[in-house]
Amino acid sequence: MTKLSRRDFSRRASLAAAAAPFLLHLPAPPQDAPSHTDELQKRADSQRNQLVSAIRAKPLPLDLEPAFLFAAKPREKKRQPTKKLNGQ
C-alpha cells in the first residue's frame, strides 16, 4: 500500500470534499418504478393466461398421450475387471 504524507492526505480529502456535491447530483442508476414493474408483471401473467386459454379451448381425447416417450432402461452393467493371470 502507498504511504500518504499528511500533506497529500489533506489535499486529496479537500478535493474529494469539493467533488462531493457534484457526486451527490449524479443521476441514480435507472430503476423501474414499482407500479411500472407491477404493470409489466400483470401483462406477462395475462399473456400467459391467454396462451393457456388457447390450449384449454382445444378438446383433447382421453387417450391422447403427450409426445414424449419415457423408456425404462435396465441398469448399465459394469464391466468385470479382467483378471491378470500369473505367468501370461
Partner 1 sequence: MIGEDILYLSVQELGKLLQARKLSPVELTEATLARLEHLGPKLGAVATLTRERALEEARSAEREIAAGKSRGPLHGIPYGAKDLLATRGIPTTWGAPAFKNQLFDYDATVVRKLRDAGAILVAKLSMIELAGGGGYNSGHASLQGASRCPYNLDHWAGGSSSGPGAAVPSALVAFAIGSETFGSIITPAAYSGASGLRPTYGRVSRHGAMALSWTMDKLGPMCRSAIDCGLVLNAIAGEDPRDATSRKEPYFWWPPNDEMQARSRAGKRLGILRPDFSTAEGDPEVGAAFDEAVRVLRSLGARVEETDLPDFPYNPVATLLYTGEAASIFRPFIESPRLDELLDETQRAGLRSALDLKASDYLDAFRLRTQIAAAMGELFNSYDALVAPSRTSPAPRLDQKFDAAAREREKQGQPPENRKPAPKSQLIAASNIAGLPALSVPCGFTKEKNLPIAIQFVADALREDVCIECAHAFQLATDWHKRRPALG
Residues near 12 by beta carbon (within 8 Å), at least 6 away in sequence: 4
Pick between residue 14 and residue 41 the one whose CB is nearest to partner 1.
Answer: 41
- Tell me the C-alpha distance between 3 and 9, whole Å: 10
For residue 28, the minimal CB distance to partner 1 (Å) is 15
Pick between residue 23 and residue 69 the one whose CB is nearest to partner 1.
Answer: 69
- Tell me the C-alpha distance between 49 and 73, whole Å: 37
Q: Which residue ranges make up the site for partner 1 (CB under 8 A)?
A: 32, 36-37, 40-41, 43-45, 47-48, 50-52, 54-58, 60, 64-68
